[in-house]
């Protein structure tokens, strides 16, 4: 019904990252969690199957359905083991449903899986991820079960439990003749919009009568004439289980969008259906129904989630709800009332907010914001009317609030802070006694006065989660975004046998009992193994005999692998157990054994605290999985004393020194060494060890690749600090500068002026000489070096004359060797956007200033005919002045020229029509290319319109060039891809139906007739013999095909509002045509019987002044082909989707109350009929197939599908790219609606 209307939101699911020191174990290896205190099992969500889970739980808690399904044995259904045999008829769906129900009842797991069941449905992983409508699933699943159970004793299972009958009656007022029609139902669909509740909806459907009178009479079969009559409906047969589907989702025809009806809709726990039944003489118990399941939808019409409230009829679950005893319940109500009053008092609210603040005072505006966050409503909305402005209210209570002198900050006085603290402690002292009064035992709850009666306990089953609820919680689902969607009632007279109560094994077949027992045994075994594995930790024992101490840390004498012994032990054991296990592993150990925590650092292995307290557990002393433990005597390693603890941690520092300048390699102007120091080493000691006399040390705490501004000098007063106290850590860099290198340092600020990593080089090539091989040199520079300095260095390195500096410029050289726009000399390397190592050309000519533009230009867009030239102009120059300079430089004269931009196809594009505007105002940038185009710009009010010529279509045989033909009318895409400016005057190919004719220039005040006459003067059109303009039809071009039809030859072009980029298509006609405003031009084509093809299209003019309905169009098409109206079928073609939409019309006798005032027009949704639309026609006398599609449609859809797959693949690659900015990702498209289906075998 709604397809995959509901898309589930899983934004709350996150990756389960392992914590520090935890082993990552695959979730598949862990057994499922056991059932919680409710003793009921949920169902896992496969991605979008919450709708399926809710319905399956409802069927499970329908004991009569469950037991009827279990009564079908293997002799009728077959077995799952035989399902792979080719000749075996195994009814897989009921078998998998039996197995799932047995798991939900007996298997000790928190949630069961529906994977096997959905596989029996024939669903793929895509179907399991797609959300569907639960009402639709209910009907389809019942149909699949009926088909699966054909030929078994359960063939009538669905009808026996859910089948009911509605009778519709029409009573003649004259002869009292009753005409009736029966309708079967498995569920009742009732309206929600405009109805207060279920009883009112049933009253409207089965009590109120509709009357045929006045102009809306009924033809009585007995009277054989139109008479007054009444129409009504009644329930003739009631099923044992009544399913009610609520129409929550509607369509707004004005906004053309779906919406969810969230208004209040009540439904009773018990309902008497006597008023709605045809027979009312039976006992009341025959009509009484009790609610036992409510499927709830949370969300909107385009996304949401399903869960279900279910009454535990057989008391299979353990209903434990946290409640207080009756005596304390009244106290709690009174206390809550007092708290509510206190909450409404702004004094208490403000005191509570200020008491939670750590600062003594906060801003008054901040207090107002915190009030909004806590209460969800601002001060002005809730309190201002009664108490005045917030600041004034604070000033009126000086005994409580203390304001700052300027009145902008506020805090609580000390006495009130103390009172609030004492009050909170007093409440905490009372809380244990209150907690002791809370009852969690279901037996105690049930023995309470006023406890719920047997079988009345309700549970909320939300996929894997199951929790108890109260019956009154159902009222919360009457309205809102989370509201009831399906209701399930059972007859009150249906009683359960005593042996079924609390017995989940009741009526389950023996083979399923054995299977579940074996599965539970296996689960217990796996849980025991998993418990042992989860509590086992792996420890890495480092043996002192395999280590030596040097360079401030411990290092293995051999390899790490040979120096470490792995030991697995239960974390619940004690340190004494660990010590004993180590002694057993190391039988040759002599003397004392000390176990110390160790940690691998970049400098090596370092030791920390000694493990003491043999009676403590390993978990208690903080030993985590993967911990490193050093086994030694506690004094020395290899004869060397080892300093332990965090105060002696070794730190690895990168020590940098400036090296000799090396032009050939970027970023290698320093030497680097890694040295180890204790974190307690003083900077004075570090200075004496590293820096020579007069040298200085600079630090960069962020690492090596940082900007110069992060480097700071260690001053004399810092020398008493330690390595740790100044923030030097592993990987930090220090720079050692000798006295002659200190020119890089600004002594006043203590900062480095140029960081060595930024010192790189640029290549400069000499283009000023006449030699065949130009010389090039490398110039050292930083990103802040000015271009004029680079030019002067290059002139000196190239040994050129100094005078050349005033007559030359630097131009970047592209990868293809092209000289790009010169760089202004006052730019830095960074402002010029040059990469280090780039190649620059030293060329003759002055560089443009920052207010000048360097432009390329050419005459015409053909680069082979016109070379590209260069020019420097002021950015404040007008377009006319720029054109004049370019014409002068290119040697052209005259005033019949204009400028255009070069588009991305390297062709003349947009014209610079505002000749008096400056280049800066038109966003002409440095390095742009302009095209000098012949011809004046059209004057204001004139249009330059490209003209296309549509020749009569030539008929093609079926299957010939199917990919080029659109049902009799051919558009050649190759022709449309040719630029209008560069298109040849003649057709590109003689067989083309649509070809470019040329451009015309015409005034906007000219008429459509003038345009047609001027189009006939184009060379391509002069071959055609056209007596009058009325023998031509004019279309605008839309999406590379004829779009809007232009009517009325005398109408001015400006009245059509064509726009500056319009293109016109001219179609020659065989006869004169003058279409009126109420005449629609359609192209109709008759289907060829027995073939998926159509004959040539014909023009059909249809007068829609009276009506534009499907019935009227069928009559017009039938008269055009001289066929009976009921012997044709018609459909509109959508070429962009390669789809046909049948245009059906049907009539029925409806009451005056439900009659539409106006029939839907074909010009509105979904047909949007317009001029030029293609209408396919099927002659049912010769061809009874109603498939309008052609071979070309299949090919087009397949091509669209391939393109969509490629686009989706490309989008996935972009999403997985870590460098693709997240904010530029496309919005998630709404999924297409797909019909729900279940595949069932044939068992007849």
Residues catalogued as catalytic? 50, 305
- Residue 1137 near residue 1118 (C-beta atoms within 8 A): no
- Structure-token pair, residue 173: 């007022």
| Total Cβ atoms within 10 A of residue 521 | 10
Spacing of C-alpha 50 from chain mean position? 19
- Residue 780 near residue 760 (C-beta atoms within 8 A): yes
| Total Cβ atoms within 10 A of residue 590 | 7
List the one residue out of 826, 837, 819, 818 whose CA is nearest residue 778. Answer: 837
Between CA 1020 and CA 1015 the distance in angstroms is 9
Q: Which residues of 989-1028 are buried (b: 16+ CB within 10 A; e: fewer)?
A: eeebbbbbbbbbebeeebbbbbbbbbbbebebbeeeebee
- Structure-token pair, residue 120: 């029996």
Between CA 1221 and CA 389 the distance in angstroms is 46
Three-state secondary structure along 633-693?
Answer: CCCEECCEECCCCHHHCEEEEEEEEECCCCCCCCCCCEEEEEEEEECCCEHHHHHHHHCCC
Phi, psi of 970 (to 5 degrees): -110, 125
Between CA 1058 and CA 1035 the distance in angstroms is 11
Peptide bond into 54 cis (omega under 30): no
- Residue 1029 near residue 1012 (C-beta atoms within 8 A): yes
- Cα of first residue to Cα of last residue in the chain, in angstroms, is 28
Between CA 259 and CA 251 the distance in angstroms is 6
Phi, psi of 562 (to 5 degrees): -80, -15
List the one residue out of 271, 312, 293 whose CA is nearest residue 453. Answer: 312
- Residue 101 near residue 516 (C-beta atoms within 8 A): no
List the one residue out of 545, 554, 547 whose CA is nearest residue 642. Answer: 554
Burial (0-12, 13-18, 19+ Cβ within 10 Å), 917: middle
Between CA 379 and CA 441 the distance in angstroms is 45
- Identify the H or E element spanning 865: none
804: Cβ–Cβ under 8 A, 6 or more apart, which residues? 768, 795
- Structure-token pair, residue 1192: 């070309």
Q: Which residues of 502-517 are buried (b: 16+ CB within 10 A; e: fewer)?
A: eebebebeeebeebbe
- Structure-token pair, residue 524: 């217990």
28: Cβ–Cβ under 8 A, 6 or more apart, which residues? none
> Angle, nearest 10°, between helix axes 92-106 and 50-60?
80
List the one residue out of 1166, 1123, 1122 whose CA is nearest residue 1144. Answer: 1166
Q: Which residues of 679-715 are buried (b: 16+ CB within 10 A; e: fewer)?
A: bbbbbeebbeebbeeebbbbbbbeeeeeebeebbbbe
Q: Which residues of 596-631 are buried (b: 16+ CB within 10 A; e: fewer)?
A: bbbeebebbbbbbeebeeeeebbeeeebbbebbbbb
């Amino acid at each position: 019904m709604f397809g995959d209307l509901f898309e589930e939101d899983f934004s709350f699911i996150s990756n389960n990252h392992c914590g520090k020191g935890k082993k990552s174990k695959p979730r598949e290896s862990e057994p499922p969690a056991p059932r919680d205190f409710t003793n009921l099992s949920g169902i896992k969500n496969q991605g979008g199957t919450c709708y399926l889970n809710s319905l399956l739980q409802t069927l499970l808690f329908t004991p009569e359905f469950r037991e009827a399904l279990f009564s079908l044995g293997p002799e009728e259904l077959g077995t799952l083991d035989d399902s792979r045999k080719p000749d075996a008829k195994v009814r897989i769906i009921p078998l998998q449903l039996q197995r799932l129900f047995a798991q939900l009842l007996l298997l000790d797991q928190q949630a069961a899986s529906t994977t096997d069941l959905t596989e029996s449905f024939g669903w793929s992983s895509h179907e399991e991820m797609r959300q569907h409508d639960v009402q639709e699933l209910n009907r389809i699943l019942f149909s699949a079960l009926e088909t699966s159970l054909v030929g078994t004793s359960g063939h009538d299972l669905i009808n026996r439990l859910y089948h009911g009958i509605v009778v519709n009656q029409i009573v003649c007022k004259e002869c009292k003749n009753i005409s009736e029609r029966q309708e079967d139902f498995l569920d009742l669909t009732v309206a929600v919009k405009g109805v207060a509740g279920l009883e009112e909806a049933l009253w409207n459907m089965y009590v109120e009568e509709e009357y045929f009178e006045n102009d809306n009479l009924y033809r009585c079969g007995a009277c054989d004439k139109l008479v007054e009559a009444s129409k009504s409906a009644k329930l003739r047969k009631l099923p044992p289980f009544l399913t009610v589907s609520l129409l929550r989702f509607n369509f707004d025809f004005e906004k053309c969008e779906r919406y969810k009806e969230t208004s209040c809709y009540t439904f009773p726990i018990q309902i008497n259906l006597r008023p709605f039944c045809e027979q009312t003489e039976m006992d009341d118990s025959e009509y009484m129904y009790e609610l036992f399941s409510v499927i709830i939808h949370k969300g909107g019409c385009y996304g949401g989630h399903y869960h279900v409230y279910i009454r535990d009829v057989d008391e299979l679950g353990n209903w434990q709800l946290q409640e207080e005893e009756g005596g304390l319940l009244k106290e709690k109500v009174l206390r809550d009332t007092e708290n509510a009053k206190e909450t409404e008092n702004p004094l208490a609210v403000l005191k509570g907010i200020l008491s939670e603040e750590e600062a003594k005072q906060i801003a008054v505006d901040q207090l107002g914001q915190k009030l909004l966050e806590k209460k969800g409503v601002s001060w002005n909305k809730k309190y201002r009317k009664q108490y005045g402005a917030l600041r004034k209210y604070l000033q009126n209570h000086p005994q409580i609030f203390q304001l700052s002198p300027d009145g902008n900050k506020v805090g609580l006085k000390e006495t009130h802070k103390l009172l609030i603290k004492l009050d909170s402690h007093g409440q905490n002292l009372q809380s244990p006694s209150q907690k002791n009064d809370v009852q969690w035992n279901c037996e105690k709850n049930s023995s309470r006065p006023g406890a719920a009666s047997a079988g009345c306990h309700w549970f909320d089953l939300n996929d894997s989660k199951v929790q108890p609820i109260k019956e009154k919680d159902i009222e919360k689902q009457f309205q809102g975004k989370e509201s009831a969607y399906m209701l399930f009632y059972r007859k009150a007279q249906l009683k359960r046998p005593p042996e079924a109560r609390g017995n989940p094994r009741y009526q389950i077949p023996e083979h399923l009992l054995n299977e579940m027992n074996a599965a539970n045994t296996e689960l217990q075994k796996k849980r025991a193994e998993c418990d042992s594995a989860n509590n086992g930790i792996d420890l890495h024992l480092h043996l002192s005999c395999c280590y030596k101490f040097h360079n401030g840390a411990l290092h293995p004498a051999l390899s790490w692998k040979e120096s470490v012994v792995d030991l697995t032990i239960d974390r619940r054991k004690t340190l004494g157990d660990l010590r004993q296990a180590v002694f057993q592993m190391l039988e040759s150990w002599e003397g004392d054994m000390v176990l110390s925590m160790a940690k691998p650092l970049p400098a090596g292995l370092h030791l920390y605290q000694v493990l003491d307290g043999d009676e403590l557990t390993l978990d208690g002393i903080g030993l985590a999985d993967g911990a490193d433990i050093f086994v030694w005597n506690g004094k020395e390693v290899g004869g060397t004393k080892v300093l332990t603890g965090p105060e002696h941690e070794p730190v690895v520092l990168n020590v940098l020194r400036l090296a000799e300048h090396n032009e050939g390699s970027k970023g290698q102007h320093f030497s680097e060494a890694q040295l180890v120091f204790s974190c307690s080493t003083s900077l004075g000691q570090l200075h004496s060890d590293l820096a020579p006399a007069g040298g200085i040390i600079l630090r960069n705490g962020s690492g090596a690749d940082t900007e110069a501004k992060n480097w700071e000098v260690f001053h004399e007063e810092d020398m008493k600090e330690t390595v740790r106290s100044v923030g030097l850590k592993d990987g930090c860099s220090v720079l050692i500068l000798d006295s002659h290198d200190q020119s890089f340092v600004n002594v006043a600020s203590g900062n480095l002026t140029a960081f060595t990593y930024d010192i790189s080089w640029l290549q400069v090539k000499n283009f000023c000489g006449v030699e065949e091989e130009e010389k090039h040199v490398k110039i050292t520079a930083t990103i802040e070096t000015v271009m004029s300095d680079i030019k002067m260095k290059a002139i000196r390195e190239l040994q050129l004359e100094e005078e050349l500096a005033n007559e030359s410029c630097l131009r970047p050289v592209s990868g293809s060797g092209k000289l790009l726009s010169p760089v202004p000399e006052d730019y830095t390397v960074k402002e010029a956007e040059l990469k280090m190592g780039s190649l620059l050309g030293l060329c003759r000519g002055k560089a443009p200033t920052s207010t000048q533009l360097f432009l390329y230009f050419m005459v015409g867009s053909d680069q082979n005919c016109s070379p590209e030239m260069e020019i420097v102009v002021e950015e404040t120059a007008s377009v006319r002045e720029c054109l004049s300079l370019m014409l002068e430089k290119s040697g052209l004269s005259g005033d019949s020229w204009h400028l255009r931009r070069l588009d991305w196809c390297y062709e003349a594009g947009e014209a610079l029509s505002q000749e008096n505007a400056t280049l800066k105002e038109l966003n002409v940038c440095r390095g742009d290319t302009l095209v000098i185009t012949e011809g004046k710009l059209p004057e204001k009010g004139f249009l330059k319109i490209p003209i296309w010529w549509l020749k009569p279509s030539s008929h093609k045989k079926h299957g010939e060039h199917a990919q080029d033909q659109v049902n009799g009318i051919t558009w050649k895409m190759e022709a449309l891809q040719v630029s209008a400016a560069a298109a040849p005057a003649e057709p590109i190919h003689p067989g083309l139906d649509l070809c470019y004719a040329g451009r015309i220039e015409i005034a906007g005040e000219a008429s459509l007739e003038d345009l047609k006459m001027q189009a006939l003067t184009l060379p391509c059109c002069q071959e055609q013999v056209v007596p009058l303009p009325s023998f031509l039809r004019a279309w605008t071009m839309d999406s590379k095909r004829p779009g809007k039809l232009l009517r009325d030859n005398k109408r001015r072009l400006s009245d059509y509002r064509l726009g500056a980029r319009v293109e016109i298509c001219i179609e020659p006609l065989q006869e004169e045509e003058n279409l009126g405003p109420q005449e629609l031009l359609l192209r109709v084509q008759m289907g060829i019987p027995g073939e998926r093809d159509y004959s040539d299209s014909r023009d059909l003019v249809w007068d829609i002044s009276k009506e534009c309905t499907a019935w009227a169009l069928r009559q017009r098409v039938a008269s055009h082909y001289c066929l009976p109206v009921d012997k044709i079928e018609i459909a509109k073609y959508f070429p962009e989707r390669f789809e046909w939409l049948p245009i059906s019309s049907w009539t029925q006798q409806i009451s005056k109350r439900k009659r539409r005032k106006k029939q839907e027009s074909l010009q509105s949704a979904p047909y949007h009929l317009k001029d030029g639309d293609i209408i396919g026609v099927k002659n049912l006398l010769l061809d009874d197939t109603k498939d309008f599609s052609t071979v070309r449609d299949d090919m087009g859809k397949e091509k669209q599908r391939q393109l969509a797959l490629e686009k989706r693949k490309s989008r996935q690659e972009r999403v997985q790219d870590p460098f693709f900015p997240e904010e530029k990702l496309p919005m998630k498209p709404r999924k297409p609606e797909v019909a729900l289906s279940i595949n069932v075998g044939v068992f007849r």
